[in-house]
């Protein structure tokens, strides 16, 4: 992210007036390799291909934010790998992390990983450190420390169904599991900040928060996410949950979140009413059915409808309701960006 882009994001988070509407997208390996024309294994294995692909995105769309920007990741294998999960790689698909336990009772044997030397995490950090001079030469900085949230990580290590059952039937064991994962996540975020001092933002992604009820959100999400977002002082505290968000949204401010990306199934007006006026909302065009599957004309039309339906257009980064999905074309992104501009003329 350039200094001007970062400053624009900080301004909108602080509630200051924007001369022009701000747009942005979460991008990572579900979209970038296919758009760039390489397979997933090359994207993960080659630092050069990873850098060139991200650079091409920025050159093609220089007037929008890409979040978190130069995201060094290995799909959903990233954090589970530090816990010892077997990672399964296929040439043109996202990798898959096998679970490491079959029952919540086994979680007590799991120790807090060391992010400096466990799993794929050292490779992620070294990639950024090695390529940081070239990233800086492009006029960009690494701005975000990134981690999956504790419920999300737990769902990979144990299994989603098993985690949901354990939350209801064995809450004490789940809390112990959350303690281990949260301690790891805080350490991981702090290590990223320590090694890359330009970082001034935290991005946490956890869709499992959208799978549970209000009492469970208060017990198993709010306290642990609060610790994670306080890992170090950060101007931007960005949360992604594109599963159901109506239950968890009222707790965003308590957790410390100031930027939120949510499901397209909830309107911006609906989320604003629940989140309050202090949270910047990032959304909310349907990512798969419109941004990926629509024609440029359909994308433009639906984008204009989205903007027109929003009653309060302050503190919004216009985007899609979730991360950039596979198969979104250059033409469709340009159609979205152009439609946003013309909606504010």
- Helix 150-158 crosses helix 171-195 at what angle (to 10 degrees)? 120
Chain-centre distance of CA 174, in angstroms? 24
Dihedral, 234, 281, 261, 324 alpha carbons, nearest 10: -110
DSSP state of 156: H
pTM over cut 0.85: yes
Cα separation, 67 vs 35, whole angstroms: 17
- Helix 160-169 crosses helix 150-158 at what angle (to 10 degrees)? 110
Q: Are 220 and 212 in contact (CB under 8 A)?
A: yes
Q: What is the pLDDT tens value at each position of the chain, 345 positions in all?
A: 999 999 999 999 999 988 899 999 999 999 999 999 999 999 999 999 999 999 999 999 999 999 999 999 999 999 999 999 999 999 999 999 999 999 999 999 999 999 999 999 999 999 999 999 999 999 999 999 999 999 999 999 999 999 999 999 999 999 999 999 999 999 999 999 999 999 999 999 999 999 999 999 999 999 999 999 999 999 999 999 999 989 999 999 999 999 999 999 999 999 999 999 999 999 999 999 999 999 999 999 999 999 999 999 999 999 999 999 999 999 999 999 999 999 997
Residue entry with tokens 């257009």? 313
C-alpha count within 13 angstroms, C-beta hemisphere, residue 335: 21
Per-domain residue ranges of the chain: 3-343
- Considering the four listed CATH numbers 1.25.40.10, 3.40.50.300, 3.40.50.10380, 3.20.20.210, the one that applies to the domain covering 3-343 is 3.20.20.210
């Amino acid at each position: 992210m350039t200094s001007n882009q970062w400053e624009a994001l900080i301004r909108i988070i602080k509630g200051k007036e924007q001369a022009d509407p701000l747009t942005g997208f979460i991008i990572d390996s579900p979209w970038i390799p296919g758009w760039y024309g390489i397979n997933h294994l090359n994207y993960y294995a080659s630092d050069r291909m990873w850098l060139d692909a991200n650079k091409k995105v920025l050159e093609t769309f220089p007037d929008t934010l890409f979040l978190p920007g130069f995201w060094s990741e290995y799909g959903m294998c990233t954090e589970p790998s530090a816990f010892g999960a077997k990672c399964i790689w296929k040439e043109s698909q996202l990798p898959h992390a096998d679970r490491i336990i079959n029952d919540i009772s086994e979680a007590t044997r799991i120790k807090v990983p060391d992010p400096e030397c466990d799993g794929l995490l050292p490779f992620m950090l070294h990639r950024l450190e090695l390529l940081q001079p070239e990233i800086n030469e492009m006029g960009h900085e690494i701005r975000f420390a990134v981690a999956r949230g504790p419920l999300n990580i737990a769902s990979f290590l144990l299994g989603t169904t098993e985690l949901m059952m354990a939350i209801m039937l064995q809450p004490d064991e789940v809390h112990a599991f959350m303690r281990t994962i949260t301690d790891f996540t805080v350490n991981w975020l702090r290590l990223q900040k320590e090694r890359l001092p330009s970082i001034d933002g935290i991005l946490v992604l956890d869709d499992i928060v959208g799978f549970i009820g209000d009492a469970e959100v208060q017990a198993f999400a709010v306290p642990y996410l609060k610790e994670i977002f306080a890992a170090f002082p950060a101007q931007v505290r960005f949360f992604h949950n594109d599963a159901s968000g109506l239950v968890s949204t009222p707790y965003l401010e308590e957790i410390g979140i100031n930027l939120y990306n949510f499901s397209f199934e909830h309107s911006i007006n609906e989320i604003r009413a629940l989140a309050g006026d202090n949270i910047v909302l990032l959304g909310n065009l349907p990512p798969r059915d419109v941004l990926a599957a629509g024609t440029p004309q359909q994308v433009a039309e639906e984008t204009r409808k989205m903007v027109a339906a929003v009653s309060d257009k302050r503190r919004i980064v216009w985007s899609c309701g979730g991360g950039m999905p596979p198969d979104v074309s250059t033409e469709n992104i340009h159609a979205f960006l152009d439609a946003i501009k013309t909606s504010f003329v």
